[in-house]
Chains A and B, each alone.
Chain A
Amino acid sequence: MTQKLEVDGFYLPPEFSGEISGYDTETFQRGDVEVRLRTPRITRAVVGELCDYLRKNQETYLRSIPLGHIIEVLDRASRRWMDSGYIYRKLALQSIPVMTGFSTETVAASIDVEMESSLSEDMWRALRSEIGNPLYLDGFQHDPELDGYRRAFGPDLMVSFFSENIPALPHLLFMRAALVKSACLGKVASGEPTFAPMYLKTIAEIDPDLARCMAVLYWRGGEVGVEDAAFEQADAVIFFGGIQAVNSLIERIPRRIRVLIHGHKLGFGVIGKEMLTADRVDQLAAATAYDLSMFDQQACLAPHVYYVETGGQISVAAFAEKVAEETAILHTAMPRGEISTADSAAITQLRGKYEMRELRGDAVAVHAPPSGTDWTVVYEKNPGIFRPSPLNRFLRVVGVDDVLQVLPIVKAIGPFLQNAAVAIGDEREQEFMAKLAEYGVARITAPGNMPVPSMMWHHDGISPLAALLRWCDIEKKEGAKGLRIQVVK
């Protein structure tokens, strides 16, 4: 018996009076759940009116409420989503798997890790970390370094282009907007348009006035009229997406707009021989399997490769086998999602190549379930160059004679580096991390932490909150020096 869900692929504040000429409903089915997705027919004019509306509410409400209140609302929203009985969470756990193919367990885990790192204390810390005194956002505050006063303003209106479906990620963009007191129009990706509207309904439950500063729409990428209407009124644009999409979009964004681009990036892990001891190996393998499996390896944080040093108590091949065992266990608890034919084919072909090398007697081992492409762990010796994974839980565990051999390999892909798990366990670790930082890595952590960055993380190496701000400083207004200025008439 098919279960039918009516889900909105948009969020418009209920009082918004713009003329929507009608709604389209599209049906998506996977297994025995059917999602009937409703989206409004939007025009350039409607988007213009919506931006007006959001800006007006930003001016009359969001701009003047204290930061502490905003953080409290966002904190309560995160906590509602962490509650397994919360109605929208339950709905999202049904709709997102239909839209994306992710398993329900993966979606639940994603919501948990996203929301657990989005609580009050995380927000205060992120603001303190990036701008020192968060109250700069509420009014002029004394800055002892300046010996004066300063105040920070976020954009009046931000437009955020969400990436395809890391489940529950869009909430972060609305949080960042609200923290800098910016209204936000989110453009959802066609692959998963259901979460963001639900999240805004949560905000509306807690503070309807704040929700009036937020909206979610879908339009096809490159729909010039609609995008131009949004760009006409936006002060900032945040974009998650691939190189081609970024290039075509960026040409049309007016110069005055602040643009933050989060392009596609990748992660990797490094484990030193000191770490490969009998008492540590199980934990390390479980950590590696978790890094691989979370978000089905779709996040820019996910590892494509784990480089592991030979010469430890446990061989690299044995470690790879352990990782495979742990990955199989995780697949039971949090199954890999359904993937496209193309993705399956890519895994089959690559496995085939490795299997032949294994059968030929090369130092290669392919670990995979007997049927299906749900996960793959390949052990091989250092090929000397970085080879990206076809993703969807496909990890290479590469044996290196010395972890320092990894440096030139990852240096060659500097522009794409995002996240590195490092566990070397001796004096080389410092030097290693210093080099990674030079090459462009934006986050270094321990195995097992790759998918769960804190809110303080410099996402893609930028300060995601501070980068949105404009400042006003009151400088040398008092004191002897200032008084000495003579104005000649």
Chain B
Amino acid sequence: MSDLPETVREIDRQITAYIERGVDSRDEDTFGELALAVFRLQYNGISLYRRYCRKRGIAPDSIDSWQQIPAVPTDVFKAAEFCLVPPHVARTFLTSGTSAGEEKGRVAYDPGGLGLMDATIRVAGKAFLFPDESRPTMLILAPSPEMAPHMVMVYGMNRLIENFGAPDSRFLIGPQGFQPEQLVFALEEATAQNRPVAICGGSFGFVNFFDYCEKRDYRFDLPPCSRCLDAGGFKGRSREVGRNEFIDMCVRYLGIPDDYSVNLLGMTETASQFYDDSLRNSMGAIIADRKKISPPWTRTLVVDPETLEPLPLGETGLLRHCDLGNRGHIFALQTDDLGVAVDGGFEVIGPAGPGEARGCSLTIDEMTEAMSS
């Protein structure tokens, strides 16, 4: 495979340098310049996106701020491919799809784009999950990268292990599925040796494990500095657990203090991840309410669900993520997650998901459920 075009490599160098300045850097000007440069690349390089922008009367020369860059709804990855340098695709991640039979979105990465993702994982992981450089054993409630090469979460967890985990870190979902005994064993071993662990995985996997513990009356009191990271929420699951309830469960079943329970918002469509700041604040002796942080190489807007125009601080709307890490596909993505901007970050209120039926007409979810049961 030939090298990426020099223009792309040059902007990747600049973005990487910007990411490596860390999560406390505040440089609005550089972000804006890089965002517009990324937009110019994507406008010129992705013909479908160019047509989408033109229809809205927007071109690189017609705008002067990143806020004006057209966002595309995340579901469009289910309908088409958006790739800046198609001949260079190195990895394709698939969206999970929330209901049976739904088509999956495909998000392709070239080696440079993967490099940017790696940088975001490294810098954000260090800031929000491992500020103490404790190198715990990472126990991942997810299949291994060999088993699930198209799951972006697995890819990300593997990068976290490489950067921050002890050598005995491992993925706990094998060909037979999740074996809770293995996690029990690992937690008992860590407790006996007084070595901290970091348990990471899908939110629903945690809740399943807590149910398992409840049935057997298992309670762990994990060594100090143990922590957990959950991602994915409960979209499309049979049961929903509120954030506070989840944190309480981590205290009750694992003995992990509430600040050490970190939630992550990650999406296949965005290269960067959005962490809770609870662990970082706790270690920095900062007292503040838990919130999600958009790291400096990203911006998160909250937009009116009808007009898709940005809303003032404090109003609830749909989250729109703008991410320099997305250089290889689309910079600005309109999600269907409900959230609110707060000072210094944002809060996710939940996936907007399909609405509740108001009338007697069938909803998409109900039909899917009934047809698959």
Binds A, one of B74-82, B122-130, B137-145: B74-82
Q: Which of B72, B74, B307, B338 contacts A372 (CB 8 A)?
A: B307
Hey, what's the 0/1 contact readout for A293-306 against B, CB within 8 Å counting as 1?
Answer: 00111111010100
Does A266 belong to the interface (CB within 8 Å)?
A: yes
Does A191 belong to the interface (CB within 8 Å)?
A: yes
**Cα distance A478–B76 in the bound complex, in angstroms:** 76
Does A363 belong to the interface (CB within 8 Å)?
A: no
B76 A264 Cβ-Cβ under 8 A: no
Instruction: Across the interface, name the chain B residue whose C-beta is closest to A348.
Output: B73
A300 B306 Cβ-Cβ under 8 A: no
A388 B307 Cβ-Cβ under 8 A: no
Q: Which of A264, A295, A296 contacts B357 (CB 8 A)?
A: A264
List residues 274-307 of chain A with CB under 8 A from any CB of chain B: 295-300, 302, 304
**Cα distance A265–B363 in the bound complex, in angstroms:** 9
Does B354 belong to the interface (CB within 8 Å)?
A: yes
Q: Which of B48, B75, B360, B370 contacts A300 (CB 8 A)?
A: B360
B48 A360 Cβ-Cβ under 8 A: yes
Does A240 belong to the interface (CB within 8 Å)?
A: yes
A300 B76 Cβ-Cβ under 8 A: no
Does B336 belong to the interface (CB within 8 Å)?
A: yes
B363 A388 Cβ-Cβ under 8 A: yes
A20 contact set on B, CB distance < 8 A: none
Q: Closest CB-CB distance, B119 to chain A, in whole Å? A: 29
Q: Which of B55, B352, B357, B367 contacts A413 (CB 8 A)?
A: B367
A163 B308 Cβ-Cβ under 8 A: no
Hey, what's the 0/1 contact readout for B336-369 against A, CB within 8 Å counting as 1?
Answer: 1010000000000000111111111111101101
A300 B361 Cβ-Cβ under 8 A: yes
Does A74 belong to the interface (CB within 8 Å)?
A: no
A348 B354 Cβ-Cβ under 8 A: no
**Cα distance A297–B357 in the bound complex, in angstroms:** 11
B354 contact set on A, CB distance < 8 A: 342, 346, 390
A353 B355 Cβ-Cβ under 8 A: no
B306 A243 Cβ-Cβ under 8 A: no
**Known: A340-B355, A341-B317. Is A348-B336 also a contact (CB below 8 A)?**
yes
**Cα distance A405–B308 in the bound complex, in angstroms:** 38
Instruction: Across the interface, name the chain B residue whose C-beta is closest to A264.
Output: B362
Interface size for A (C-beta < 8 A) is 51
A350 contact set on B, CB distance < 8 A: 75
**Known: A349-B73, A353-B75. Is A388-B364 also a contact (CB below 8 A)?**
yes
Q: Closest CB-CB distance, A55 to chain B, in whole Å? A: 29
**Cα distance A295–B316 in the bound complex, in angstroms:** 27
**Cα distance A163–B359 in the bound complex, in angstroms:** 6
A341 B316 Cβ-Cβ under 8 A: yes
A264 B366 Cβ-Cβ under 8 A: yes
Q: Closest CB-CB distance, B146 to chain A, in whole Å? A: 32
Does A352 belong to the interface (CB within 8 Å)?
A: yes
**Known: A349-B74, A353-B75. Is A265-B361 also a contact (CB below 8 A)?**
yes
**Cα distance A264–B354 in the bound complex, in angstroms:** 15
B360 A346 Cβ-Cβ under 8 A: no
**Cα distance A351–B308 in the bound complex, in angstroms:** 13
B355 A242 Cβ-Cβ under 8 A: no
B359 A349 Cβ-Cβ under 8 A: no
Does A262 belong to the interface (CB within 8 Å)?
A: yes
Does B51 belong to the interface (CB within 8 Å)?
A: yes
Instruction: Across the interface, name the chain B residue whose C-beta is closest to A412.
Output: B371
B76 A353 Cβ-Cβ under 8 A: yes
Instruction: Across the interface, name the chain A residue whose C-beta is closest to B317.
Output: A341
**Cα distance A242–B307 in the bound complex, in angstroms:** 31
**Cα distance A413–B370 in the bound complex, in angstroms:** 10
B279 contact set on A, CB distance < 8 A: none
**Known: A164-B357, A264-B357, A339-B355. Is A345-B305 also a contact (CB below 8 A)?**
yes
Q: Closest CB-CB distance, B91 to chain A, in whole Å? A: 22
A299 contact set on B, CB distance < 8 A: 359-361
B316 A243 Cβ-Cβ under 8 A: no
A359 B75 Cβ-Cβ under 8 A: no
Interface centre among B73, B338, B360 (most CB of A within 10 A): B360
Q: Closest CB-CB distance, B356 to chain A, in whole Å? A: 7
Q: Closest CB-CB distance, B275 to chain A, in whole Å? A: 24
A352 contact set on B, CB distance < 8 A: 72-73, 75-76, 79, 334
Does B52 belong to the interface (CB within 8 Å)?
A: yes
A166 contact set on B, CB distance < 8 A: 359-360
Hey, what's the 0/1 contact readout for B302-316 against A, CB within 8 Å counting as 1?
Answer: 000111100000001
List residues 386-404 of chain A with CB under 8 A from any CB of chain B: 388, 390-391
B352 A346 Cβ-Cβ under 8 A: yes
Q: Which of B72, B305, B306, B361 contacts A391 (CB 8 A)?
A: B361
**Cα distance A191–B355 in the bound complex, in angstroms:** 14
**Cα distance A117–B317 in the bound complex, in angstroms:** 41
Interface centre among A100, A264, A267, A350 (most CB of B within 10 A): A264
A341 B359 Cβ-Cβ under 8 A: no
Does B108 belong to the interface (CB within 8 Å)?
A: no
Does A130 belong to the interface (CB within 8 Å)?
A: no
A100 B358 Cβ-Cβ under 8 A: yes
Does B199 belong to the interface (CB within 8 Å)?
A: no
Instruction: Across the interface, name the chain B residue whose C-beta is closest to A101.
Output: B358
Interface centre among B306, B307, B358, B362 (most CB of A within 10 A): B358
A140 contact set on B, CB distance < 8 A: none
A342 contact set on B, CB distance < 8 A: 336, 338, 352-356
Does B84 belong to the interface (CB within 8 Å)?
A: no
B322 contact set on A, CB distance < 8 A: none
**Cα distance A297–B361 in the bound complex, in angstroms:** 8
Q: Which of A266, A302, A304, A372 contacts B306 (CB 8 A)?
A: A372
Q: Closest CB-CB distance, A167 to chain B, in whole Å? A: 10
**Cα distance A166–B359 in the bound complex, in angstroms:** 6
**Cα distance A360–B353 in the bound complex, in angstroms:** 27
Q: Closest CB-CB distance, A100 to chain B, in whole Å? A: 7
**Cα distance A349–B95 in the bound complex, in angstroms:** 14
Interface centre among B55, B78, B370 (most CB of A within 10 A): B370
B75 A242 Cβ-Cβ under 8 A: no
Q: Closest CB-CB distance, B117 to chain A, in whole Å? A: 23
**Known: A346-B336, A353-B75, A359-B55. Is A298-B306 also a contact (CB below 8 A)?**
no
**Cα distance A371–B305 in the bound complex, in angstroms:** 11
Q: Closest CB-CB distance, B245 to chain A, in whole Å? A: 20
Does B200 belong to the interface (CB within 8 Å)?
A: no
Does A105 belong to the interface (CB within 8 Å)?
A: no
Does B318 belong to the interface (CB within 8 Å)?
A: yes
B363 A298 Cβ-Cβ under 8 A: no
What would 18 more interface pairs be, CB under 8 Å, given A342-B352, A345-B318, A416-B367?
A262-B360, A266-B367, A297-B361, A299-B360, A300-B361, A342-B336, A342-B354, A342-B355, A349-B74, A352-B72, A352-B73, A352-B75, A352-B334, A353-B73, A355-B55, A356-B48, A360-B48, A388-B363
Name B's A-contacting residues (CB within 8 A): 48, 51-52, 55, 72-76, 78-80, 305-308, 316-318, 334, 336, 338, 352-364, 366-367, 369-371
30 contacts between A and B (CB under 8 A): A164-B359, A166-B359, A242-B357, A264-B362, A265-B361, A266-B362, A298-B358, A299-B360, A302-B359, A302-B361, A339-B355, A340-B355, A340-B356, A341-B305, A341-B317, A341-B318, A341-B352, A348-B334, A350-B75, A351-B73, A352-B75, A353-B76, A354-B79, A355-B76, A356-B72, A359-B52, A360-B48, A390-B354, A391-B361, A413-B367
Name A's B-contacting residues (CB within 8 A): 100, 163-166, 191, 240, 242-243, 262, 264-267, 295-300, 302, 304, 339-346, 348-357, 359-360, 371-373, 388, 390-391, 413, 415-416
The 7 lowest CB-CB distance pairs between A and B, nearest first, are A298-B359, A352-B73, A344-B305, A345-B336, A343-B355, A349-B75, A342-B352
